[in-house]
Amino acid sequence: MSAVAASISLARPAACSSRAGSSRRAAPAAPAAATPRQPTAVHAVAGARPSAEPEAPEAASTRPQPHVEVFPAMIASRLTEDNRMFVEAHRIRGNEVGPDQRTSMISIATLLQEAAGNHAVAMWGRSTEGFASDPGMAGLIFVMTRMQIQMEEYPRWGDVIQINTWFQEDGKLLAQRDFRITDKASGRELGRGTSTWVMINMQTRRLSKMPPPIREKCEAFQLQPPRHSIPRDCTRQKLPDLSLPAEIVGPVQVARRTDMDMNGHVNNVTYLAWAMETVPRDVYYGCHLYQMEVDFKAECHSGELVESLAARCATHDKLACNGAGPDALSFVHVLRRCQGEACTELVRARTTWRAGEPTSPSSA
Amino acid sequence: MSAVAASISLARPAACSSRAGSSRRAAPAAPAAATPRQPTAVHAVAGARPSAEPEAPEAASTRPQPHVEVFPAMIASRLTEDNRMFVEAHRIRGNEVGPDQRTSMISIATLLQEAAGNHAVAMWGRSTEGFASDPGMAGLIFVMTRMQIQMEEYPRWGDVIQINTWFQEDGKLLAQRDFRITDKASGRELGRGTSTWVMINMQTRRLSKMPPPIREKCEAFQLQPPRHSIPRDCTRQKLPDLSLPAEIVGPVQVARRTDMDMNGHVNNVTYLAWAMETVPRDVYYGCHLYQMEVDFKAECHSGELVESLAARCATHDKLACNGAGPDALSFVHVLRRCQGEACTELVRARTTWRAGEPTSPSSA
């Protein structure tokens, strides 16, 4: 008997949350894997066929009505605020939701990456090879060195989120891209993020200043004055060192071919997935991942083996302004690739977990 | 220096394709990871600001124009053909494209799964727990036992695809869900798929017949007469056995937490990703994955270690009607979980590779 896509009861381990020990029972699904609810807005917009529209008596008596005939269309992605802001909406997909029915931080990071990429295409266009391009940037590329995301609530399958993203110079060598994530139906802020980028020469791999024509173009697309999604004193904090041997050693991870992005490197969000493997089970399933800070340090290719290490760390300084609350837990994570004794640190990250179950807009 | 998201030259191994040996050079990206082109349709619909709309002279002289101000909105997902067909569109995301700038079979399978799930929600609605539900199905669920996908062309980042999906009974115990994938801009068929489902009792895990009220509802939502996306004599072919020891042994795969779906099992498409690991490098990067046939046999949970085995197999009987062409290569894949000598086969699959590079609608 095959039963791969079957829905079964899930017992969640006891943890931060008072509801963590309760068992969940999957309701039956139609001919599809588990089939979740759509947000309230969908029902309101597109419920069953209006009763004012009479059907032929025969059809009405024999045919059940669908629950939803039409799911609303997404808004167009667009530049706004005098072309200095990019706005995009996404309806959360079923594969972006985990056993708790909520999206993961990984899915959120993927969507932020997508909005950033589309924003870049909107500004620069693209070359025939598929990348965004501006002739003035020849040989230079932006690379992400840091990412920080805070999530108040995680959306569910069918929820529609809106991502606003914008960028601004930060000194002569850095650029910053910020994000604001809202629930499309209510407008409530679900989370926020910021990322740091540098420009490098593709051949030499060395840092480069932005050439004046590119700087000028960037200025035309940046918010004035700068706007920060996370208060400045809560960002770019040094991530603590991890003492070795590590307190927590996760299974060695294999970079899959399908983890590669269009540059032929492991996608940034795959690193986050590997880091997640080291979080203790009761925390991972019972708490709310409020914040993730990630420093990207080196690249990785398919087939490579990656060690995922972690340790519980002191709750950090700016926690109050970060909003994680007094009972928060923090972990430092290191991903590294070793050949014998020689190890290369690929990623260092810190995750901060808020006591209590995650929440989502459609359960609020 | 951090350079995780950097674009670098990619040399592709010599393989089926005459162009496989050429090197690719990534064009520079804006402050985002690699930023690809949008489809021609996007440019046509939403190019630069119309020149008929004059700007203030100052702004016009100093400000570069964006390449795209508005990306078109997606169509609403909807039931159509008298509620017997479900239609959904997706714009391909950057993370769904690999180093060859095209989506993978895995991404396509994910999108088919999403369309199937939304179709189920459209028909049945959902419970407060997040699953599609109908009171008449209490205790019974549909599970997927087989999937077969054929792809003529793979879309790129920004391409918009339309998925049509429908289902129909197939005897007393089986249901079949079919898919047709088209390029939204041109209407050209990119691929097609079919899947087989059975109903089981959630508690006993045994096969169950559909209760009469559910059967009646299903009939109201099925196409009459049945329609098959792949000719019937090309589907449900027995997949060959794999001789042990296997000709190809991939790295042992770790089921990640983020591979889990909302049922707490490894997502179906993760199995496909594991199977891909065993395809020889020259075939994986140099040929066109035309067809994937998968039998799901047992379930898997996070943390489990999975062996990925494969062997080249004889080009199969129905290849002519399958359309893979005379130079096609076929592999049989087995995923299994072992404890000592005792192994459980989780998945058996066959992949069929067409000679020559993959194609995509926006490069055609």
Which of chain B's residues have a Cβ under 8 Å away from the Cβ of A118?
Answer: 35, 38, 71, 94, 158
**Please, what is the average pLDDT of chain B?**
78
Contact A110 B99 (CB under 8 A): no
More confident residue, A40 or A314: A314
Q: Which of B4, B122, B138 sits opposite A296 (nearest CB)?
A: B4
Contact B127 A27 (CB under 8 A): yes
Measured distance CA(A271)–CA(A147) in Å, rounded: 12
Q: Tens digit of pLDDT for each residue in A43-68?
A: 222 333 333 344 444 444 467 788 88
In angstroms, the separation between the Cα of residue A209 and the nearest Cα of chain B is: 14
pLDDT in the model for residue B245: 93
Contact B122 A277 (CB under 8 A): no
Catalytic site includes residue A67:
no
Which of chain A's residues have a Cβ under 8 Å away from the Cβ of B269?
Answer: 95
Q: Parallel, antiparallel, or unpaired for β A85-91 and A160-170?
A: antiparallel
pLDDT tier for residue B42 given thresholds of 50, 70 and 90: very low
pLDDT in the model for residue A133: 65
pLDDT in the model for residue A114: 93
pLDDT tier for residue B191 given thresholds of 50, 70 and 90: very high
pLDDT tier for residue A37 given thresholds of 50, 70 and 90: very low
pLDDT at A204 > cutoff 50: yes
Contact A26 B269 (CB under 8 A): no
Q: Which of B61, B141, B207 to mutate to test the interface with A (most CBs of A within 10 A)?
A: B141
Contact B36 A97 (CB under 8 A): no
**Please, what is the average pLDDT of chain A?**
78
Catalytic site includes residue A322:
no
Q: Which of A35, A132, A273 sits opposite B258 (nearest CB)?
A: A273
Number of cross-chain residue pairs from A and B with Cβ atoms under 8 Å apart: 490
Contact B117 A273 (CB under 8 A): no
What tokens does B101 get? 């700038």
Which of chain B's residues have a Cβ under 8 Å away from the Cβ of A131?
Answer: 7, 26-29, 34-37
Residue with tokens 């959360």: A92
In angstroms, the separation between the Cα of residue A269 and the nearest Cα of chain B is: 9
Q: Which of A4, A217, A295 sits opposite B265 (nearest CB)?
A: A4
pLDDT at B332 > cutoff 80: yes
pLDDT tier for residue B64 given thresholds of 50, 70 and 90: confident
Which of chain B's residues have a Cβ under 8 Å away from the Cβ of A63?
Answer: 220
Contact B131 A37 (CB under 8 A): yes
> Which is catalytic among the residues A263, A321, A338, A343?
A263
Q: Tens digit of pLDDT for each residue in B294-320?
A: 999 988 877 788 999 999 988 766 666
Q: Tens digit of pLDDT for each residue in A215-244?
A: 888 889 999 889 999 998 888 888 999 999
Q: Which of A6, A83, A206 sits opposite B66 (nearest CB)?
A: A83
pLDDT in the model for residue B251: 82
Instruction: Please tell me which residue of chain B has the smallest CA distance to A102.
Output: B262
pLDDT tier for residue A341 given thresholds of 50, 70 and 90: confident
Instruction: Please tell me which residue of chain A has the smallest CA distance to B131.
Output: A36
Q: Tens digit of pLDDT for each residue in A126-137?
A: 766 666 667 677
Q: Using alpha carbons only, what angle is made at residue B89 by residues A30 and B259, rounded to the nearest 5 degrees?
A: 60
Q: Tens digit of pLDDT for each residue in B147-177?
A: 999 999 999 988 999 999 999 988 888 899 9
Contact A2 B296 (CB under 8 A): yes
| ipTM score for this prediction | 0.80
Domains in chain A, ordered, with CATH?
78-363 (3.10.129.10)
Contact A71 B94 (CB under 8 A): no
Active site residues of B: 263, 265, 300
Q: Which of A72, A258, A299 sits opposite B106 (nearest CB)?
A: A258
> Which is catalytic among the residues A118, A218, A228, A265?
A265
Contact A251 B303 (CB under 8 A): yes
Average pLDDT (A197-209) is 85
pLDDT in the model for residue B359: 57
